[in-house]
Amino acid sequence: MGKNKNKLIIDDNYVISRKKGNGVLTRKVWVDDTGEITRYALAYINLNISSLDSGRILGYDNAHDYHHKHLLGKVTPVKFKSFEALHNEYTKKS
């Protein structure tokens, strides 16, 4: 039986105009060969607000083997229910 490989299925970048606050919203999602989400990264990046964490103002991802939130340079674990719930939380806050 072969090893499940991650496939990037969403790779979105939305540029926010200066007039609306500046920055970039990014969304990346990877799935395995069964369609299950294996990796994700959601971020609002704006170097005009902060240079900490490469300008990431708000972000959620599951790198380093745990689900966590980035907020102005601070990283904290988050309780993970589902990607959809996390995405909704990110959408509300960004």
Strands in 24-31's sheet, in edge-to-edge order, are 7-15, 24-31, 37-45, 56-61, 68-71, 74-77
Cα–Cα dist 9/19, whole Å? 31
Where do the structural domains in the chain lie, given as residue ranges? 7-93
pLDDT at 51: 95
pLDDT in the model for residue 93: 81
**Six-digit token string for 44:** 């609002």
Cα separation, 10 vs 31, whole angstroms: 9
Whether the full predicted model's pTM is greater than 0.75, yes or no, is yes
In this prediction, what percent of the chain has a pLDDT beyond 90? 86
- 33-65 pLDDT, tens per residue? 999 999 999 999 999 999 999 999 999 999 999
pLDDT at residue 74 in the model:
96
pLDDT of residue 3: 60
If you ran DSSP here, which 8-state letter would residue 74 be given? Answer: E
